[in-house]
Structure formats: C-alpha cells, structure tokens
Structure 1
Amino acid sequence: MNRSERRRQEAIRGRGAQQADSFALRTLLEEGTRHHQAGRLSEAERSYRLALEMTPGHPDALHLLGLLAYRANRPDQAIELITQAIDASPSNALYWFNLGVVSQRAGRKDDAVRAYERALALNPTYVDALINLGNVLKDLTRPEDAVRAYRKALALNPGHADTHNNLGVALKEQGCLSDAITAYREALRLKPSHLEALNNLGLALLETRSIDGAIASFERALAVQPAYGKALYNLGIASIWNGDDRRAIDCLSRAAQAKHNHGQPVAEGVVYRSRLKHDIEQVRYLLSRRLLGPEVMGYLQALEHLDRSLSAHHPDRNRCSIEPAQAAAIAPSFNRFLHLAPCDRLLAGALNPALDVAEVEARYLGRQPEVTYIDHLLNDEALAALRRFCWESTIWKKDYENGYLGAFLGDGFATPLLLQIAEELRLKFPRIFKQHRLTQAWAFKQDNARRGLNIHADAAAVNVNFWITPDEANRDPDTGGLVVYDKEAPRDWNFAAYNSEQNKPKIMEWLKESGAQAIRIPYRANRAVVFNSDLFHETDEIHFKDEYLNRRINITLLYGHRHQD
C-alpha cells in the first residue's frame, strides 16, 4: 500500500471515529433530555455531564445543564451555564431566549430584557420572546414598550388569548381604558373562560363606572371558578358601589374565610415575632373578657413557647423561619378567626352630627395639593364599636417587617359599620369626594416598640386616614400621627414606584429635588386626615405605651382612582 493510500484509509477511519463520537454524543443528550422531561433530574445531569466529558464546552450540553439547574431552583448556576453555551454559540436564539426566562424568574429583569432582545435580533418572528419581553417590560413599568412588544406578537399570532389579556393590562397602566377593555374582550372572544381577562375586564368597567357590566364580568369569572378569590373580592367592591352592602359583605367575608380561616400551617415556614406578640396579647385579652374559653389554652401555650424560642435564638430578627413541627403546633388556630366581634350599622348614623361641612371642605380645597384633618369624626357609639371590633376580632393576619399588622376588606375587616362610615363620609362632604367611591379600606395595628409605616403614596383619588386608639395611650401628644409631603407623586410613576419600601431612597431624593415640605399632623383619637392620595406620607415617630389596648390603630379608606376627575 503506497503512502497516499494509507492516508486515505486513515482519513476514512478518522471520519468513522468522528461519526461514532457524534452518535454517542447525540445519544447522551437525547437520553438526558428524556430523563429531564420525566423529572429524573440526577440521571439527566449524569448524561449531560458525560456529554461534556466527551466534548468539553459543547453548547447544547451546557444549555441543557443550565435548564436543569433552573428546574432544580439554582438560578445563578443556570445563568452561568447558559451564558457559557451562548459564548460557544452566540447565534443561537433559543439560548438567548432561555437566558431571558431564567433571568426574569431570578428577578434580573434588565438582563432578561437584553436577552430577549438578542433572541429577537437573531429571530424577529420569535413569538414567545416577544410575549416574554412584553411581560418583563410591563413589570419594569414600561407600559408603552410592553404594548409595542405585545402588538408585534399578536401580529404574528393573533389567536393568543393570554397576550390580548396582557396587552389590556399594559394599556390600562397607560391610562388607555377603552383600548384595554377592547383587548380584554378579544381575549374573551378567543377564550370565554379566561379568568384573568374576566376579572380584568370587570375592574376596567368598574373604573369607567359601568357597574352592571363589572358585576356581570365578575359573576362570569365566579361561574367558571367559584373559589376565585380576586373576582370574589372585586364583586364585593362592585357591590358596595351598587349600594348592596349585604352582598358586598358576603363576598368579602367569603374571600376572607378562604384566605385566613383554614387552620393550615403557615405557607412558607415563616412567622413574625411581632405577630406572635400580638396574638399572645389578644388571646389573653379575649380570655380575660370570657370571649374565648379554655379550649384555646393549648394554642396560647404553643404561641408562648414559640415566642420564647425565637426570642432566644433570633433576638434581633422579626421575620423568622420555623420548623415544620413548630408550624404544626400553632396551625389549628394561627390561621383561624377565633372570634369576630359584632360591628353592625347604627340606626342613628356613625358620623358626628356636629361636623362643620362647609368649614372642612373649605380647608381641604383651599390648600393645593389638598390636605386637612377632621377632629371628632365619629360619634361616641361608632367609635366604641369600632374599637371593640379591632380589639376583639382575630383578623390581624397580614404581617409587615416594621412590626405592624394589617387587616384589609378581603381579610375580615369588612363590616356593616365600616361601610356605613365610608358611605356617610362620601355623602357628607360632596365637594371633597365628588363622584369617587370606596375602592379599598384597611386597618393597621402597630407594635408600639417598633417603627410605623414607611413613606409611600396610594393608588386612589382621596385618602382618609383616621385613628381610634384612646389618647391616653400616646406618651407624646406632639407626635404619633402622620407626616404628609406637599408634592404629588409624578404622574408617570406607577404603584410599584410610589408604594415600595425599596424605592424609599428614590422617593426621598425626588421630594428633596422638588422642594417638598413636610406637614406634620399629631395623633389624636378620632381624628381623620383627609388628603390627595398622590401625596407621599408616612407614620410619624410613635411613643405609645407598649400594652395591648394601647396599640396605635389607624384605619384607611381609599376613594376613587388615581388621576380620575
């Protein structure tokens, strides 16, 4: 055999070996993918790593390992592996798309935008990348860009109901209510049982004051899924607007029962020490009033034991992880309404009949932006009933890091008396509330050894914030109330921007640059602060006695929608 023939034979053998290696590599990747899809993650990882041993740096193997890490809830490792795959094969649009997916789920939204945009640069008709880009842009409060992405996706796939619904959300964020309603209706034409679109359509119709249409939309959602909490809550709000308080309270109470009266362990294995402290105090108070019986003693002891344990091991923390056995010990009563005090309508009315309507309205409208306060808001009977309800009812289930506890309309705070107060206020001061209706209400109960609410604004037209704890609880009558800043939040800031603790530095910098002045309104029992909801505000420093009945309780009523005339 001459030299040229030997070279030809060696080349043939080399090609055969390469083909065999390629076949083995493909087999490993396919095998790994089958394990991956079947949920056998350790077997899938073994196959992918064997593929990488055979061909180091192979982009498909790196990409698949990245997806495996993502499924195993290791987002940082997933991003690193998919990035390595992209380094080896930068023109693969799928790699960029999945880098966007992992980055988005990991909270790296700006990185996700860049990844989706690179995927689209490589494949402009990549519909899923357009949809996901729209979603992340919406989350980044860039509704105009989100709308553009959604419209491009729908031009390629007009039959995608979810995208029409998301387009509606972005359009509503822009203030384009009519276009949003059109988008929701198109989503429902494509998928009549689309729960989110039914709920979102109802909200948009309610905002345009189409109350009957809103109620019908929420009812359709509940016909599809009777336990759909969002629609149940929103039907409650729409029923308030419709003057049907009985139905409103029924809907809101059912929503609260589903959320908080189930007796299951805490979902994330986490409790707040401030909640334990409050619940121990409240159960002891209810026992002393004979509103609870000896059957709760085991629960009280479990709370006290857990509180001592967390105080010993985490003295500087409020939010603490707990073991499953600890969660199980308090579960039967921690997520229960052990007692709900009556809080009925008052035949003689709830507001103080001596309120000077003309004087209050003149003070409110005479200051721009609008802010004033009303002393002696409620009559004695209403104030006493509201205090009793807040002291006795075990509705305080929403925890905050600062140590205060919340109860919203959908958490058990919806009572006939509260709705009566809200409606009487609206009707008594028509020049303040105009056509605005109640959109939300809540109460916060403060841990007097901790801080109050951080600076924020609210998504409404008019805010009423009133206090019901007796004045004797407040050690410093010059503080304990509310600080309101006399500059409205920028119109292009959305709820996430003006109602987020993470945005406090941005808010404070903006207030400084705009020359905002602080209006400090001291605490008084039965005093209401009424102001334009676009104004940033925060709880003043508090110096209340650290005892159960002395906890500072404030109640907030929101009316109308932001920038709605």
Structure 2
Amino acid sequence: MASRKPVSAEKTLLTAVSHHRAGRLEQAKKLYQDILSGQPHHADANHNLGVIKMQQHQAAAALPYLLKALESQPGNGHYWLDYIEALHLSGETGVARQTFLDACTKGLSGPEATALATRLGMTSHHTAAPSSAEIDTLLRTFNEGQIDAATSHARKLTHQYPDHAFGWQVLAAALQHAGHHAEALPAAQRAAALAPDSATAQYNLGVIHSQLGHPTEAETHFLKSLSLQ
C-alpha cells in the first residue's frame, strides 16, 4: 500500500488560516505549531501563533513568536505593528514606544501606525511628544528623499520636543545623508541619550563615528547596539 504524501507547510498554513479566520483558534494553533515543529523560523506561522496568543489575552507569551516572525521578515509592517502592540499589552509600554520610534525610522507609517501611536499615548500633549501626524509627515518627507525639507522639519521638532528622541534621530539621519557628519554627531548623541535602550540609536552613532574616522568610538557603539538587540 502506498504511503500518504506529507502535507506541505503551505497547505497546512492555508488550512490553519481558514480555521483562524473562522474563530477556531485551537485548531489553528495546533496547525501553526505543526508547521513550526518542522520549520521553527516560518514567519507566517510564528506571527499567526503570536496573534492567537494575543487574542487569548496572553500578550507576554505572544512576544517570542512575534519577534521571531519580525526577525525573519523585518520589512513587514504588520509584524512590527503586532509586536509593538504585544509589548504594550504585556505592560512594556516604554519599550513599545521606543520600538515604535525605531520602526518609524525604518519606514513604518500609515493609518495603522498612527492609530498605534495613539494607543501608546504618543500623541498626548502631556507626553511632550510629536503627534503621529507630525511623525508620519517627517518620515514621508525623509523617505521620499527630500533631505533639506526633512532636515528643516526635524530641527523644528527638536525645538518643539527637545526631550523626545524622534526628532533628534531623524535630524541625525538627514544630516548624515547629506554628508554633514560632524553636525550629525551631536544630534545622534542627543537621540542616544534620550533613548538609552535603543539599539538603532547606538548603531547610528557608530556609523557616524566611523565616517568621522573615530574607530574606537564606533566600535564601542556598535557593540552596545548588539547588546541591546
């Protein structure tokens, strides 16, 4: 008698997603786990299993799965959004806010990001933080290559919100992009001081020091960036 051909991960995923969308969470969870038993870094299975954990009010348990998915596909905006949401729901709101800022510098934007910023309390005047609309406008300007406009806008944010890291991060990036490395350094240092747990801020400092011919300082910040990841 011929043996049954094993079901592919893709077919298993389709079945799992069908169960998931229909609200049959336990059936979906088992299938996602089956996929991960053979492919532990499968991005969709990790992400969707993390989402189920969140739906079952287990945000902290969701984090390892969501992080693994994000590490597999760092360009996936939905993975960033769900990971940050899980951080927030698990009580790590401070980390969630900083992760959100890091994600924004990597291109995260749009209505869902704006809504998440609101849930994180990043649009309140009491937080002395730029609004989600200001963040989105600056990121769009920078990502479209309008470096002079982005520099001007970032300077404005650093004056309005001097104790918030975001404006300083983008100002440093814009100045660095324009080749003004010496001017970018103090902005990057300010961003790192305001966001001491940001691996991105430390990495950016390392890059600028390297461009300025400061290998010892560059290595220090690169190593610190790695320790924060």
Counterpart selection for 2:87 from 113, 133, 137: 137
User: Which structure 2 residues correspond to residues 28-177 of structure 1 after superposition, within 5 A?
Assistant: 55-172=5-122, 177=127
| One-letter identity of the residue aligned with 1:146 | A
For the 8 Å contact 2:123–2:131, the answer to whether it is kept is: no
Aligned CA distance change for structure 1 residues 124 and 189 (closer, same or farther; 3 Å): closer
Q: Distance in 1 between matches of 2:109 and 2:80?
A: 15
* 8 Å contact kept, 1:99–1:115: yes
- Where do residues 3-14 of structure 1 align in structure 2 (5 Å cutoff)? none
RMSD: 2.9
CA contact (8 A) 2:50 2:62 kept: yes
Structure 2: gaps of 5 or more residues: 139-229
Quick one: distance in 1 between partners of 2:102 and 2:44?
Answer: 19
The answer for the alignment partner of 1:384 in structure 2 is: none
**In the superposition, relative to structure 1, how do residues 163 and 152 fare at CA in structure 2: closer, same or farther (>3 Å)?**
same
User: Is contact 1:138–1:170 with CA below 8 Å preserved after alignment?
Assistant: yes
Alignment of 1:69-468 (within 5 A): 69-172=19-122, 177-179=127-129, 182-186=130-134
CA-to-aligned-CA distance 1:396-416 (integer Å, 9 cap, x gap): xxxxxxxxxxxxxxxxxxxxx
Q: Whole-Å Cα distance in 1 between the matches of residues 32 and 56 of structure 2?
A: 14
Q: Which amino acid aligns with 1:95?
A: A
Greater helix proportion: 2
Instruction: Determine which structure has the larger strand proportion and give its number.
Output: 1
- Whichever residue aligns with residue 84 of structure 1, its letter is D
Percentage of pairs with the same residue: 17
Aligned 8 A contact 2:122 2:132 in 1: no
- Report how many residues are paired: 136
Q: Distance in 1 between matches of 2:114 and 2:72?
A: 25
Q: Which has the larger radius of gyration?
A: 1
**The residue matched to 1:133 in structure 2 has which SS?**
helix
TM-superposed deviation, 1:82: 0.6
Q: 1:80 to 1:158 in 2, by over 3 A?
A: closer
Q: Conserved in 2, the CA contact under 8 Å of 1:165 and 1:187?
A: no
Question: TM-score when scaled to structure 2?
Answer: 0.51
Contact 2:124-2:131 at 8 Å conserved across structures: no
- Residue 171 (structure 1) shift: 4.1
For residues 461-489 of structure 1, the C-alpha deviation after alignment (integer angstroms, 9 at most, x for no partner) is xxxxxxxxxxxxxxxxxxxxxxxxxxxxx
- Aligned partners of 2:67, 2:108: CA distance in 1, in Å? 21
Give the CA deviation at 1:83: 0.8
Q: 1:79 to 1:173 in 2, by over 3 A?
A: farther
What's the TM-score, normalizing by structure 1? 0.22
